[in-house]
C-alpha cells in the first residue's frame, strides 16, 4: 500500500523521504530503490547475515545502534531512525575492522564480508567486554561459506587486541562510546550530527504515518512474519509494536517479574535483572537465534506465533507464566499454558493484543533449566526443546513445571509428568520415570527437524539432562543407560 | 600479497552480477518450474500469467530458435521442459516482467497439467531398473579373486554418503543485453564462461562470436556454477534475444536450492581383505552414483571417483565398478572434490570395519598401506614424488598422535557423559581435469604506454584467490610492482575457448599461460633494452625490480622508460599465450594412463567431543600437514585449506538433504539446510605446509589447493563413530554420512532397528 504521508529517516548521511510501501523490506529498498548494493541478499530469512545493517534509534539523548537483518526489516520501521549500511560506514581509509579482515585474509569471495563488517561494528558499539569470545558471539548471525571462519575469528581477535588499549575501559555511556569510536576513525564523523538531525525529523505527535482503511497487521519483531508471508506483508498496512514503549521493559513487582510483550530477546538476554534470576541465562539465550535476530524478535511475538517449537514459549511455560491480553482498556489474564488450543490456534480474540508476560519469582529453593537440541547447535530451530522448574523441600520435589517443544502440535506443558514429580526424590530413577511418563503426553511427527522416534528419544534425554544440569553431583555418578 | 579484492570486499564495493549498474529499461525474469518429479506435460496454459500486471512476455520450449539443449558431456538436458519433466524444479517457462516481484507473481498463474510417471529417488533402485546415464565402468589392478584366499581377514559392507548443497552465498543469476547486429552480451555468474557462450549460441542458433560472456566475480562457486550457471544465462539470452531488451534474473535462495543439483549422493558396497599385520591385499567396490535426472557432469565425476578408489593407499589387487544412475532429482553436479570424497569415504569405511574386526585402531592399517614412491595407482599411473608417508609422519610427530591417543583414552575412562574421539585422514588427490582436452588455458597480457599492465585469463575469481595468484605471477615474472598490474574480469571476447575454472587447476594453468605471455613480452623488452645499451647480448639483460640490469648490474633504464622506448620502436607490447599441461593422457578403452600432472598429499587429524546425554557434538580441532608445493601465497592457501576443511566437516555431519517420497526437497532454505556457522567451526584448525616440497610440474613450484583439503573433513565421521563406541561399544552405526545429531543419539541410546527401518517414514533420508 502507498502512504498518504511519506516516511522520513536518515540513510547514512542523507535525509530520505519515501512513499514506498511500509511493508517492503529494507533490503529491497536499499538494493532496488537506492542501488546501495553493498548490502547483499543471501537468503531473505535472516539466516545468513549478508544483508546486515545498523539501525540507530534516538534514546533520550544518545543514539543506540543495533545490527539487524534488512531482509526482515520493514521500511515502516525506519521512520524517524538512522539506517546505516556498509556504504555509510566507509571512510577514506579502511577502518580497523576492515583492515583486520584484509590483513587476516578473512574475506574470500567477499559476498558475506559487508555483513561481517557491520556485525563487528555492532559489536564495538554494544560490547560489554572486548574479549574475543564476545566478538565471535557478535558474528553468530553471519554465514560464510568460503573461509571456514578461522580467518574471521583471527580478524575479530585482531580487532579486540588493537583496540584494547584505545577503547578500554569500555564506555558504558552510549554517546561517549560513539564519540570515542568516531575519534578512532572506526565510525565516520557525520554520526555526531545524527541526533540533532533526527530531532528535526521527528514527526509531531499524531503525525505518524497513517495508512489506508485496511485493518493493520500487527508486527512485533517480524522475524518470522517476513519469512513466512513476505508478499502479503509488502502490501499490508502495518501496526508496528516497536513504537509502543508501554509494551516494553522488564520489571519486578512484588514477587512477580513482568516483561512487556514487545521487549526484544536481546534486551532480555542483556537484562541484569533476568541475569540475576537465571545465572545461566547467557547459555540459554545463546541457543536462541542470532544477535541480529534477537535485536528484533520479541517475547510476545515468539508466544503469539504459536510455533510448537518457540524457544521462549517453552522457557516461560516452565516458569508457570501468566500472560496479559489487552483489548482497548479491557485486560484479561490467563496462564500461558492455557493459551495454546491447537496447532497455531490461540485463546485470543481478534482485537486482543498480547501485552505482557509475567512469572512468579524463583526463590532459593527453586531450580530451573532450559535445553535445546537442533541439527546445528546455534541459529537453528530446535528438534526438541524443553524447560524444567522444580521447587525443592527437604530433598524432595515440592512443585514441578515441565515443558517441551517439537513434540506436539502446540508448545506443550507436560502436566502429567509435572504431577508425577511432586514428592519425588532427586535421583536418576525419578528422572527416567518422568521421561517415561512424558512419552505418554507427546505426539511428535517426523519432519525436517527429525523423525518421530528421534524426538521421543531426545525428549527423554533432555529430561534427564535437566536433572543432570540442575543436580550434577547427585546425577553424574548415577546416570547410566 | 593480500587478496587483491579484499579492500573492495570490506567496503562492499566489489560488484557481483546483481550489483552491476543496470541498463535503462531492464526487465526481470522468473522461472516457472515443475512441481512434480516425473510426468508428461499434458497441457501448459500461460494465458493468465501473460495478462498479469507488468508482464512483458512468457517463453516456453517452443520459443527456442535453435537447439533446446544444455547438456555438456551428454546431450540429454533441455533448457526448458518440452514433453516431459524429470525432476521437481525443472524449468518449464520464463516469465519476463517489469520487476522481479511481478515476474514471480505471474509465474504462479501458469497452469500445467501432468500425467504423472514413476519416480525414482534411490540410485540402487534406478540401477536395478536399468536407468543408467552411461554404461558402467570398471578400474582394476592385479586380481582380487586370486587375492581373497591370501587374506587373513575379509570384511564386507555398505557405505552411503549424502548429497551436499553448495550454498554459495551469491545465488545463481545472469543478465543479458541485446547488442547490435543480433548479438548478445551476457553477464553471468558462471565458472565456465565458454560453456555459457557455446550453449547460448546453440540455443539461439548463433555463431559463438555473437555471444560475449562476461563474469565479474562469483560470490562462491564450489563447483555449483561450473555447469549449472548455464541454464539461467541461456534462459535470459533467449528472453533478451526475443524481446531485444535487457533482462536479468537473480534466483532467490529457495529457488536456487530447489532447482539446482548438489554433490552426488553415493551408495556403495565394499569388500576388503587384510593380512594379520594390517596389509591390505585386496579391495573390491561397487559405486552407485545418484546422478539425478540428466547427465550434467556426472560421468566425469564418476570417473574421478574411480581414480580415487584407493585414496592414499597402495592396494595390489583392486576392482572398482561404478554406475551413474538416473533418478528424478535435479541433475547432480560438481562440488569441490568432484567424486573423490565419496570414494575416500568408502575406502575409510572399509578400513574402519576391518580394523574393528581385527581389534586395532584404523590408523595402524592406514599408515601401513600409505602410497610409496614407485607404487602404481589402479589406473596405471606410477606414484611419483610421493609425499604420503612424509605428510603422515610429520603430522604424527608434530601433533603427537600417541599423546592425543593417550589423552583420549584417559578422558574417556574418566568421563561417562562426554566422550572424545579422533581419526586420522590422509589425502591424495590427482591434479588435472580427467578429460585431458580441458587441460589448457590462455592469457592475454597488455602493457600500456604508461607502464601499467592488464592481464586477462580464463580464470574466474570466486574467492579462491586465483586473481591474486595470477597478479603475483605477472608481477614476479615481469619483476614490477604489483600496483602496476590489474587482473581483468573474465570475458570470452578477450580469451577464447576457456576451460571451466574447476578441478583446482585455475591458478596452475592460467598462471602458467600468464607467465608465458609475460616472458614473451620480456624477451621483446630485452631486445629493446639491448638496442638502447648497444649490445646484442640480450641474455645478459634482465629486469629486476623495474630496472634494467646488464650483466647483473643496474642500468639507468627504468620500467617506464623501457616501455616508452618499446612503443616508439613499434614493438608489440601485448602477448597472448597458451598453456597445455604436458605429459598427461588416459585411454578409456583400457582404463589406464597417466591422467594427472601430479598429486597433492596431506594428512589431517580430527578431534571431536561428544555429549552422550544429548547426542550433540563439537569438532574440537583439525590439525593438518599439507603439501602445497612451494606456496604461491600462504594467506590464500591457508584460507583455502580452512574453508575446504569446514565444508568437508559439514558434509559428513550436519548438512543433510531430505526429500519427501514424491521427490520434493524438504530442506530447501537456510532455515532447514544447515551449513557450518562460526560456532560449529572447530575451535582450532592448524595448518602446517610441508617444507622443502617443490613441485616441478606446478606453477612456480606450487601445487593446486582448492579441493584436496576438503577431504580431511571426512575424518570427523570416524572420530565421531569412535566417540560413540567409547560410550556404547555395540552401538549400531551404519556407514552413513552425514552423521547428524539424530543419528548420533539413536546410535547412543536407540534400539538397533532405529537406525535401519527408516523407509517407513514420510521423509526420505
What is the ipTM score, two decimals?
0.97
Asked if the model's pLDDT at residue B679 lies above 90, the reply is yes
**What share of chain A in percent tops pLDDT 70?**
95
Confidence of residue A209 (pLDDT cuts 50, 70, 90): low
Joined together, the cell numbers standing for residue B7 give: 579492500
pLDDT, residue A215, reads 85
Joined together, the cell numbers standing for residue A127 give: 560490547
Comparing A477 with A341, which gets the higher pLDDT? A341
Q: Could B219 and A150 be called an inter-chain contact, meaning their C-beta atoms sit closer than 8 Å?
A: no
CA atoms within 13 A on the CB side of A268: 29
Asked if the model's pLDDT at residue B762 lies above 80, the reply is no
- Residue B464's nearest CA partner among B301, B691, B641, B711 is B641
Query: Over the stretch B129-161, which tens digit does the pLDDT of each residue have?
Result: 999 999 999 999 999 999 999 999 999 999 999
Chain A stretch 91-150, residues whose beta carbon is closer than 8 A to a beta carbon of chain B: 94, 97-99, 101-103, 105, 107-114, 117, 136, 139-140, 142-150
Asked if the model's pLDDT at residue A210 lies above 90, the reply is no
- Residue B218's nearest CA partner among B244, B198, B192 is B192
Chain A stretch 72-101, residues whose beta carbon is closer than 8 A to a beta carbon of chain B: 85-87, 90, 94, 97-99, 101
Confidence of residue B648 (pLDDT cuts 50, 70, 90): very high
Mean pLDDT throughout A204-214?
A: 54
Asked if the model's pLDDT at residue B10 lies above 70, the reply is yes
Q: What is the mean pLDDT of chain A?
A: 94
Q: CA of A274: how far to CAs of A107, A220, A267, A281, in Å?
A: 37, 21, 10, 7
- Residues 6 or more apart whose CB falls under 8 angstroms from that of B359 comprise none
Asked if the model's pLDDT at residue B759 lies above 50, the reply is no
- Residues 6 or more apart whose CB falls under 8 angstroms from that of B447 comprise B453, B521, B563, B566, B573, B574
Asked if the model's pLDDT at residue B756 lies above 60, the reply is no
Peptide linkage before A169 cis (omega within 30 of 0): yes
Q: Could A448 and B222 be called an inter-chain contact, meaning their C-beta atoms sit closer than 8 Å?
A: no
Q: Could B101 and A458 be called an inter-chain contact, meaning their C-beta atoms sit closer than 8 Å?
A: no
Mean pLDDT throughout B407-425?
A: 96
- B226 neighbors B333 (Cβ within 8 angstroms): yes
**What share of chain B in percent tops pLDDT 70?**
98
Answer yes or no: pTM beyond 0.95: yes
What's the maximum distance between 2 C-alpha atoms anywhere in chain B?
89
Q: Could A142 and B740 be called an inter-chain contact, meaning their C-beta atoms sit closer than 8 Å?
A: no
pLDDT, residue A165, reads 86
- Residues 6 or more apart whose CB falls under 8 angstroms from that of B174 comprise B17, B186, B187, B188, B189, B190, B229, B232, B233, B236, B248, B249
pLDDT, residue A363, reads 81
- A477 neighbors A444 (Cβ within 8 angstroms): no
Asked if the model's pLDDT at residue A208 lies above 70, the reply is no
Q: Could B10 and A113 be called an inter-chain contact, meaning their C-beta atoms sit closer than 8 Å?
A: yes
Asked if the model's pLDDT at residue A476 lies above 70, the reply is no
- B349 neighbors B270 (Cβ within 8 angstroms): yes
Joined together, the cell numbers standing for residue B305 give: 571417483
Joined together, the cell numbers standing for residue A133 give: 569470545
- A288 neighbors A294 (Cβ within 8 angstroms): yes
R_g of chain B computed on alpha carbons: 27
Q: Give the whole-angstrom CA distance, residue A190 versus residue A188.
A: 6
Q: Could B10 and A476 be called an inter-chain contact, meaning their C-beta atoms sit closer than 8 Å?
A: no
Confidence of residue A61 (pLDDT cuts 50, 70, 90): confident
Q: CA of B383: how far to CAs of A341, B386, B689, in Å?
A: 69, 6, 21
Q: Give the whole-angstrom CA distance, residue B282 versus residue B313.
A: 11
Asked if the model's pLDDT at residue A103 lies above 50, the reply is yes
Chain A stretch 24-83, residues whose beta carbon is closer than 8 A to a beta carbon of chain B: 31-32, 35, 37-45, 47-48, 50
Which of helix, strand or coil describes residue B350?
Answer: helix
Mean pLDDT throughout A406-434?
A: 97
A479 and chain B: CB distance < 8 Å anywhere? yes
Q: Could B12 and A234 be called an inter-chain contact, meaning their C-beta atoms sit closer than 8 Å?
A: no
Which of helix, strand or coil describes residue B153?
Answer: strand
Q: How many CB atoms lie within 10 A of CB A395?
A: 9
Which chain A residue's Cα is nearest to B336? A146
Q: Give the whole-angstrom CA distance, residue A318 versus residue A371.
A: 12
pLDDT, residue A364, reads 82
Burial class from Cβ neighbours inside 10 Å (0-12, 13-18, 19+) for residue B718 reads buried
pLDDT, residue A326, reads 97
Asked if the model's pLDDT at residue A481 lies above 80, the reply is no
Mean pLDDT throughout A182-201?
A: 96
A461 and chain B: CB distance < 8 Å anywhere? yes
Q: Give the whole-angstrom CA distance, residue B197 versus residue B208.
A: 6
Beta strands at B84-85 and B111-116: parallel, antiparallel or unpaired:
unpaired
Q: What is the mean pLDDT of chain B?
A: 96
Confidence of residue B763 (pLDDT cuts 50, 70, 90): very low
Asked if the model's pLDDT at residue B471 lies above 70, the reply is yes
Mean pLDDT throughout A180-204?
A: 92
Query: Over the stretch B442-465, which tens digit does the pLDDT of each residue have?
Result: 999 999 999 999 999 999 999 999
Query: Over the stretch B291-310, which tens digit does the pLDDT of each residue have?
Result: 999 999 999 999 999 999 99
Query: Over the stretch B243-278, which tens digit does the pLDDT of each residue have?
Result: 999 999 999 999 999 999 999 999 999 999 999 999
Comparing B762 with B617, which gets the higher pLDDT? B617
pLDDT, residue A203, reads 66
Beta strands at B184-188 and A366-373: parallel, antiparallel or unpaired:
unpaired
Asked if the model's pLDDT at residue B753 lies above 70, the reply is no
CB < 8 Å to A40, chain B: 12, 16, 169-170, 219
* Interior angle at CA B102, CA B97 and CA B107, nearest 5: 85
Confidence of residue B30 (pLDDT cuts 50, 70, 90): very high
Q: Give the whole-angstrom CA distance, residue A321 versus residue A309.
A: 17
Query: Over the stretch A136-159, which tens digit does the pLDDT of each residue have?
Result: 999 999 999 999 999 999 999 999
Chain B stretch 337-376, residues whose beta carbon is closer than 8 A to a beta carbon of chain A: none
- Residue B198's nearest CA partner among B365, B375, B381, B75 is B75
Joined together, the cell numbers standing for residue B543 give: 629486469
- A373 neighbors A280 (Cβ within 8 angstroms): no
CB < 8 Å to B677, chain A: 140, 143, 149, 376, 378-379
Q: CA of A76: how far to CAs of A15, A133, A201, A261, B735, in Å?
A: 15, 34, 15, 20, 52
Confidence of residue A384 (pLDDT cuts 50, 70, 90): very high
Query: Over the stretch B394-404, which tens digit does the pLDDT of each residue have?
Result: 999 999 999 99
Mean pLDDT throughout A13-41?
A: 97
Beta bridge partner(s), residue B211: B184
pLDDT, residue B164, reads 98
- A316 neighbors A357 (Cβ within 8 angstroms): yes
Query: Over the stretch B581-606, which tens digit does the pLDDT of each residue have?
Result: 999 999 999 999 999 999 999 999 99
Amino acid at each position: 500500500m502507498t502512504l498518504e504521508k511519506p516516511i522520513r529517516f536518515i540513510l547514512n548521511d542523507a535525509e530520505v523521504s519515501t512513499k514506498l510501501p511500509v511493508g517492503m523490506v529494507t533490503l529491497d529498498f536499499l538494493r532496488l530503490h537506492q542501488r546501495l548494493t553493498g548490502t547483499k541478499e543471501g537468503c531473505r530469512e535472516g539466516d545468513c547475515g549478508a544483508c546486515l545493517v545498523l539501525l540507530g534509534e534516538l534514546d533520550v539523548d544518545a543514539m543506540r545502534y543495533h545490527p539487524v537483518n534488512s531482509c526482515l526489516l520493514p521500511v515502516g520501521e525506519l521512520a524517524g531512525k538512522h539506517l546505516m549500511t556498509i556504504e555509510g560506514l566507509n571512510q577514506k581509509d579502511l577502518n580497523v575492522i576492515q583492515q583486520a579482515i584484509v590483513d587476516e585474509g578473512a574475506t574470500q569471495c567477499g559476498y558475506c564480508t559487508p555483513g561481517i563488517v557491520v556485525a563487528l561494528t555492532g559489536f564495538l558499539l554494544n560490547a560489554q567486554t572486548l574479549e574475543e569470545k564476545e566478538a565471535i558471539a557478535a558474528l553468530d548471525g553471519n554465514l560464510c561459506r568460503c573461509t571456514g571462519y578461522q580467518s574471521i575469528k583471527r580478524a575479530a581477535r585482531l580487532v579486540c587486541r588493537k583496540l584494547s588499549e584505545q577503547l578500554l575501559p569500555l564506555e558504558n555511556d552510549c554517546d561517549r562510546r560513539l564519540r570515542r569510536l568516531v575519534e578512532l576513525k572506526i565510525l565516520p564523523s557525520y554520526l555526531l550530527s545524527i541526533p540533532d538531525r533526527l530531532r528535526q525529523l521527528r514527526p509531531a505527535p499524531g503525525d505518524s504515518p497513517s495508512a489506508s482503511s485496511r485493518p493493520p497487521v500487527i508486527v512485533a519483531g517480524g522475524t518470522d512474519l517476513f519469512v513466512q508471508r513476505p508478499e502479503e506483508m509488502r502490501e499490508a498496512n502495518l501496526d508496528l509494536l516497536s513504537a509502543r514503549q508501554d509494551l516494553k521493559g522488564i520489571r519486578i513487582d512484588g514477587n512477580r517479574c513482568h516483561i512487556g510483550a514487545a521487549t526484544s530477546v536481546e534486551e532480555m538476554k542483556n537484562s541484569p535483572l533476568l541475569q540475576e534470576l537465571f545465572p545461566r541465562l547467557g547459555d540459554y539465550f545463546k541457543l536462541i537465534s542470532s544477535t541480529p535476530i534477537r535485536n528484533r524478535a520479541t517475547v510476545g511475538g515468539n508466544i503469539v506465533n504459536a510455533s510448537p517449537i518457540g524457544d521462549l514459549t517453552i522457557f516461560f511455560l516452565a516458569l508457570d507464566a501468566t500472560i496479559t491480553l489487552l483489548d482497548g482498556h479491557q485486560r484479561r489474564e490467563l496462564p500461558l499454558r492455557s493459551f495454546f488450543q491447537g496447532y497455531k490456534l490461540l485463546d485470543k480474540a481478534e482485537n486482543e493484543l498480547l501485552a505482557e508476560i509475567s512469572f512468579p519469582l524463583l526463590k532459593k529453593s527453586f531450580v530451573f533449566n532450559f535445553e535445546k537440541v537442533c541439527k546445528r547447535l546455534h541459529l537453528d530451530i530446535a528438534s526438541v526443546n524443553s524447560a524444567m522448574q522444580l521447587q525443592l523441600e527437604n530433598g524432595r520435589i515440592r512443585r514441578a513445571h515441565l515443558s517441551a517443544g517439537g513434540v506436539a502440535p502446540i508448545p506443550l506443558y507436560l502436566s502429567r509428568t509435572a504431577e508425577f514429580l511432586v514428592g519425588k526424590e532427586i535421583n536418576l530413577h525419578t528422572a527416567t520415570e518422568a521421561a517415561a511418563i512424558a512419552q505418554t503426553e507427546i505426539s511428535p511427527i517426523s519432519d525436517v527437524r527429525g523423525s518421530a522416534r528421534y524426538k521421543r528419544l531426545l525428549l527423554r534425554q533432555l529430561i534427564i539432562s535437566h536433572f543432570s544440569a540442575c543436580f550434577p553431583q547427585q546425577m553424574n555418578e548415577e546416570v547410566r543407560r | 600479497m593480500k587478496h587483491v579484492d579484499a579492500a573492495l570486499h570490506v567496503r562492499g564495493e566489489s560488484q557481483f552480477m546483481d550489483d552491476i549498474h543496470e541498463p535503462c529499461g531492464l526487465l526481470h525474469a522468473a522461472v516457472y518450474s515443475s512441481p512434480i518429479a516425473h510426468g508428461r506435460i499434458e497441457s501448459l496454459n500461460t494465458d493468465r500469467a501473460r495478462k498479469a500486471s507488468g508482464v512483458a512476455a512468457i517463453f516456453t520450449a517452443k520459443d527456442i530458435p535453435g537447439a533446446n539443449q544444455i547438456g555438456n558431456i551428454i546431450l540429454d538436458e533441455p533448457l526448458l521442459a518440452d514433453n516431459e519433466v524429470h525432476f521437481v524444479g525443472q524449468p518449464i517457462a520464463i516469465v519476463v516482467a517489469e520487476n522481479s516481484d511481478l515476474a514471480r507473481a505471474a509465474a504462479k498463474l501458469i497452469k500445467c497439467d501432468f500425467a504423472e510417471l514413476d519416480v525414482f529417488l534411490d540410485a540402487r533402485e534406478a540401477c536395478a531398473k536399468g536407468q543408467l546415464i552411461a554404461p558402467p565402468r570398471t578400474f582394476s589392478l592385479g586380481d582380487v579373486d586370486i587375492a581373497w584366499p591370501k587374506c587373513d581377514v575379509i570384511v564386507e559392507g555398505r557405505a552411503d554418503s549424502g548429497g551436499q548443497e553448495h550454498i554459495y552465498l551469491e545465488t545463481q543469476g545472469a543478465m543479458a543485453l541485446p547488442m547490435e547486429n543480433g548479438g548478445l552480451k551476457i553477464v553471468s555468474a558462471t565458472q565456465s564462461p565458454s560453456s555459457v557462450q557455446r550453449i547460448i549460441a546453440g540455443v539461439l542458433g548463433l555463431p559463438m562470436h555473437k555471444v560475449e560472456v562476461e563474469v565479474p566475480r562469483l560470490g562462491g562457486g564450489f563447483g555449483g556454477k561450473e555447469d549449472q550457471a548455464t541454464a539461467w544465462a541461456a534462459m535470459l539470452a533467449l528472453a533478451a534475444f526475443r524481446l531485444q531488451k535487457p533482462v536479468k534474473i537473480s534466483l532467490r535462495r529457495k529457488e536456487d536450492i530447489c532447482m539446482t543439483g548438489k554433490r552426488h549422493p553415493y551408495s556403495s558396497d565394499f569388500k576388503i581383505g587384510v593380512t594379520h599385520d594390517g596389509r591390505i591385499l585386496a579391495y573390491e567396490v561397487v559405486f552407485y552414483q545418484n546422478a539425478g535426472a540428466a547427465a550434467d557432469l556426472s560421468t566425469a565425476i564418476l570417473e574421478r571417483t574411480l581414480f580415487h578408489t584407493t585414496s592414499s593407499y597402495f592396494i595390489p589387487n583392486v576392482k572398482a565398478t561404478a554406475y551413474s544412475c538416473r533418478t528424478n532429482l535435479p541433475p547432480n553436479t560438481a562440488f569441490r572434490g568432484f567424486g573423490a570424497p565419496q570414494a575416500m569415504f568408502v575406502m575409510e569405511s572399509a578400513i574402519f570395519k576391518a580394523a574393528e574386526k581385527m581389534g586395532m585402531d584404523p590408523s595402524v592399517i592406514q599408515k601401513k598401506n600409505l602410497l610409496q614412491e614407485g607404487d602404481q595407482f589402479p589406473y596405471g599411473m606410477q606414484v611419483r614424488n610421493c609425499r604420503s608417508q612424509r605428510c603422515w609422519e610429520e603430522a604424527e610427530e608434530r601433533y603427537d598422535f600417541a599423546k592425543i591417543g593417550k589423552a583420549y583414552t584417559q578422558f574417556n575412562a574418566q568421563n561417562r557423559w562426554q566422550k572424545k574421539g579422533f581419526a586420522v585422514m590422509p589425502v591424495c588427490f590427482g591434479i588435472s581435469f580427467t578429460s585431458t582436452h580441458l587441460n589448457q588455458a590462455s592469457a592475454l597480457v597488455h602493457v600500456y604506454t604508461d607502464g601499467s599492465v592488464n592481464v586477462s585469463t580464463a580464470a574466474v575469481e570466486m574467492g579462491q584467490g586465483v586473481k591474486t595468484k595470477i597478479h603475483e605471477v605477472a608481477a614476479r615474472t615481469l619483476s614490477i610492482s604489483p600496483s602496476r598490474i590489474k587482473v581483468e574480469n573474465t570475458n570470452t571476447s578477450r580469451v577464447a575457448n576457456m576451460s571451466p575454472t574447476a578441478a583446482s587447476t585455475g591458478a596452475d594453468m592460467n598462471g602458467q599461460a600468464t607467465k608465458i605471455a609475460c616472458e614473451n613480452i620480456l624477451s621483446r623488452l630485452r631486445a629493446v633494452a639491448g638496442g638502447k645499451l648497444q649490445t646484442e647480448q640480450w641474455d645478459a639483460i634482465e629486469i629486476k625490480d623495474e630496472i634494467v640490469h646488464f650483466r647483473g648490474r643496474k642500468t639507468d633504464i627504468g620500467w617506464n622508460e623501457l616501455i616508452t622506448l618499446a612503443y616508439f620502436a613499434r614493438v608489440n607490447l601485448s602477448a597472448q599465450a597458451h598453456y597445455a599441461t604436458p605429459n598427461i593422457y588416459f585411454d578409456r578403452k583400457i582404463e589406464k594412463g597417466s591422467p594427472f600432472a601430479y598429486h597433492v598429499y596431506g594428512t589431517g587429524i580430527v578431534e571431536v567431543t561428544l555429549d552422550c546425554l544429548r547426542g550433540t557434538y563439537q569438532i574440537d580441532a583439525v590439525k593438518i600437514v599439507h603439501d602445497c608445493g612451494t606456496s604461491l601465497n600462504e594467506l590464500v592457501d591457508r584460507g583455502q585449506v580452512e574453508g575446504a576443511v569446514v565444508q568437508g566437516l559439514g558434509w559428513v555431519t550436519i548438512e543433510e538433504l531430505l526429500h519427501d517420497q514424491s521427490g520434493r526437497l524438504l530442506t530447501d532454505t537456510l532455515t532447514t539446510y544447515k551449513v557450518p556457522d562460526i560456532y560449529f567451526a572447530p575451535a582450532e584448525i592448524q595448518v602446517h605446509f610441508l617444507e622443502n616440497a617443490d613441485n616441478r610440474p606446478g606453477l612456480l613450484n606450487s601445487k593446486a589447493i582448492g579441493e584436496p583439503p576438503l577431504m580431511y573433513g571426512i575424518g570427523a565421521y570416524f572420530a565421531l563413530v569412535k566417540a560413540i563406541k567409547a560410550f556404547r561399544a555395540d552401538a549400531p552405526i551404519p556407514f552413513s554420512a552425514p552423521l547428524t545429531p539424530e543419528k548420533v543419539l539413536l546410535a547412543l541410546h536407540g534400539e538397533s532397528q532405529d537406525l535401519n527401518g527408516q523407509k517407513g517414514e514420510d521423509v526420505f533420508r
